A = this chain, B = another copy of it.
Amino acid sequence: MHVDFSKLGGLAPAVIQDDSTGRVLMVGFMNEEAFRRTVETGFANFYSRSRNKLWLKGETSGHRLVVKSIATDCDQDAILIRVEPLGPGVCHEGYQSCFFRTLRDGEWVVNEERTYDPNTTYGGSK
Protein backbone atom coordinates (compact mmCIF):
# COMPACT_ATOMS: atom_id res chain seq x y z
CA MET A 1 0.00 0.00 0.00
CA HIS A 2 2.75 2.37 -1.07
CA VAL A 3 2.12 6.13 -0.98
CA ASP A 4 4.74 8.60 -2.19
CA PHE A 5 5.25 10.96 0.73
CA SER A 6 8.51 12.35 -0.65
CA LYS A 7 7.18 15.21 -2.75
CA LEU A 8 6.01 17.31 0.20
CA GLY A 9 8.75 16.48 2.68
CA GLY A 10 7.05 13.43 4.15
CA LEU A 11 3.43 14.46 3.62
CA ALA A 12 0.66 13.73 1.15
CA PRO A 13 -2.65 15.59 0.81
CA ALA A 14 -5.68 13.57 1.92
CA VAL A 15 -9.10 14.54 0.59
CA ILE A 16 -11.97 13.61 2.88
CA GLN A 17 -15.27 12.98 1.13
CA ASP A 18 -18.64 12.16 2.70
CA ASP A 19 -19.41 8.63 1.54
CA SER A 20 -23.16 9.10 1.53
CA THR A 21 -23.48 12.60 0.03
CA GLY A 22 -20.25 12.93 -1.96
CA ARG A 23 -19.52 16.31 -0.38
CA VAL A 24 -15.82 17.11 0.06
CA LEU A 25 -15.49 17.81 3.77
CA MET A 26 -11.84 18.76 4.25
CA VAL A 27 -8.30 18.39 2.97
CA GLY A 28 -5.68 17.35 5.48
CA PHE A 29 -2.14 16.08 5.29
CA MET A 30 -0.91 12.65 6.29
CA ASN A 31 2.57 11.40 6.91
CA GLU A 32 3.32 7.70 6.69
CA GLU A 33 2.42 7.10 10.33
CA ALA A 34 -0.90 8.99 10.09
CA PHE A 35 -1.76 6.95 7.00
CA ARG A 36 -0.85 3.69 8.76
CA ARG A 37 -2.98 4.61 11.78
CA THR A 38 -5.87 5.53 9.48
CA VAL A 39 -5.72 2.16 7.74
CA GLU A 40 -5.28 0.18 10.96
CA THR A 41 -7.83 1.96 13.18
CA GLY A 42 -10.48 2.85 10.61
CA PHE A 43 -10.53 6.48 11.78
CA ALA A 44 -8.88 9.31 9.83
CA ASN A 45 -5.61 10.51 11.36
CA PHE A 46 -3.59 13.44 10.06
CA TYR A 47 -0.32 15.20 10.58
CA SER A 48 -0.75 18.77 11.76
CA ARG A 49 1.67 21.07 9.99
CA SER A 50 1.01 23.91 12.47
CA ARG A 51 1.40 21.75 15.59
CA ASN A 52 3.97 19.32 14.14
CA LYS A 53 2.22 16.29 15.55
CA LEU A 54 -0.04 13.41 14.67
CA TRP A 55 -3.68 14.19 15.12
CA LEU A 56 -6.71 11.93 15.38
CA LYS A 57 -9.54 13.90 13.79
CA GLY A 58 -12.23 14.21 16.46
CA GLU A 59 -9.94 13.63 19.43
CA THR A 60 -11.29 16.86 21.04
CA SER A 61 -14.71 17.24 19.42
CA GLY A 62 -15.68 13.59 19.12
CA HIS A 63 -16.37 14.27 15.44
CA ARG A 64 -14.37 11.32 14.18
CA LEU A 65 -14.28 10.23 10.55
CA VAL A 66 -15.11 6.57 10.02
CA VAL A 67 -13.21 5.26 7.00
CA LYS A 68 -15.39 3.65 4.33
CA SER A 69 -12.84 3.39 1.50
CA ILE A 70 -9.34 4.60 0.63
CA ALA A 71 -8.08 5.41 -2.87
CA THR A 72 -4.87 6.84 -4.26
CA ASP A 73 -4.15 8.62 -7.53
CA CYS A 74 -2.07 7.75 -10.57
CA ASP A 75 1.14 9.15 -9.07
CA GLN A 76 0.31 7.66 -5.66
CA ASP A 77 1.07 11.01 -4.02
CA ALA A 78 -2.48 11.94 -2.97
CA ILE A 79 -5.09 10.06 -0.95
CA LEU A 80 -8.88 10.09 -1.21
CA ILE A 81 -10.82 8.79 1.78
CA ARG A 82 -14.57 8.33 1.78
CA VAL A 83 -15.92 8.54 5.31
CA GLU A 84 -18.97 8.50 7.50
CA PRO A 85 -18.53 11.67 9.56
CA LEU A 86 -19.61 11.36 13.20
CA GLY A 87 -21.22 14.48 14.63
CA PRO A 88 -22.82 17.55 13.06
CA GLY A 89 -19.79 18.96 11.28
CA VAL A 90 -16.18 18.38 10.28
CA CYS A 91 -14.94 21.98 10.36
CA HIS A 92 -13.61 23.39 13.63
CA GLU A 93 -15.42 26.62 12.78
CA GLY A 94 -18.80 24.91 13.15
CA TYR A 95 -19.66 24.02 9.57
CA GLN A 96 -20.53 20.67 8.01
CA SER A 97 -17.58 21.03 5.59
CA CYS A 98 -14.42 23.12 5.79
CA PHE A 99 -15.26 24.29 2.26
CA PHE A 100 -17.99 26.70 3.34
CA ARG A 101 -16.67 29.68 1.35
CA THR A 102 -17.42 30.00 -2.37
CA LEU A 103 -15.99 32.51 -4.82
CA ARG A 104 -18.57 35.04 -6.04
CA ASP A 105 -17.48 37.98 -8.17
CA GLY A 106 -13.94 37.82 -6.84
CA GLU A 107 -14.89 37.56 -3.15
CA TRP A 108 -15.14 34.55 -0.82
CA VAL A 109 -18.74 34.31 0.37
CA VAL A 110 -20.11 32.13 3.18
CA ASN A 111 -23.35 30.71 1.88
CA GLU A 112 -24.39 28.16 4.46
CA GLU A 113 -25.27 28.07 8.14
CA ARG A 114 -23.19 26.58 10.94
CA THR A 115 -24.36 23.12 12.04
CA TYR A 116 -22.99 23.42 15.60
CA ASP A 117 -21.44 25.94 17.98
CA PRO A 118 -17.65 25.52 17.89
CA ASN A 119 -17.19 27.44 21.16
CA THR A 120 -19.24 24.87 23.03
CA THR A 121 -17.56 21.91 21.33
CA TYR A 122 -13.97 23.08 21.38
CA GLY A 123 -14.02 25.58 24.26
CA GLY A 124 -11.94 27.98 22.24
CA SER A 125 -9.29 25.46 21.15
CA LYS A 126 -9.17 23.45 17.95
Known A-B contacts A1-B106, A27-B78; A71 and B13 likewise in contact (beta carbons under 8 Å): no
Chain B: which residue is nearest A8 at the CB level?
B8
Return A115 CB to nearest CB of chain B, in Å. 13
* Least Cβ–Cβ distance between A77 and chain B, in angstroms: 9
Q: Is the CB of B8 within 8 A of A108?
A: no
Kindly state the separation between the CA atoms of A106 and B22 in the bound complex, as whole angstroms.
24
* Structural contact, B8 and A27, CB atoms closer than 8 A: no
Contacts A108-B1, A108-B2 given; does A27 touch B73 at CB 8 Å: yes
Taking beta carbons and an 8 Å cutoff, which residues of A are in contact with B? 1-2, 7-8, 13, 15, 17, 21-24, 26-27, 39, 49, 69-76, 78, 80, 91-93, 95, 98-103, 106-108
Which residue of B7, B70, B101, B103 contacts A102 across the interface (Cβ within 8 Å)?
B70
Q: How distant is the Cα of A8 from the Cα of B49 in the complex, in angstroms?
A: 10
B102 engages A73 (CB within 8 Å): no
Q: Which 7 A-B pairs have the closest CB atoms?
A: A22-B22, A73-B98, A27-B78, A71-B99, A70-B103, A13-B13, A80-B99
- 29 A-B pairs (CB sep. < 8 Å): A1-B103, A1-B107, A1-B108, A13-B78, A15-B15, A15-B27, A17-B24, A24-B24, A27-B73, A27-B78, A27-B80, A39-B106, A69-B103, A70-B102, A71-B99, A71-B101, A71-B102, A72-B99, A72-B101, A72-B108, A73-B91, A73-B99, A73-B101, A74-B92, A74-B98, A74-B100, A76-B101, A76-B108, A78-B98
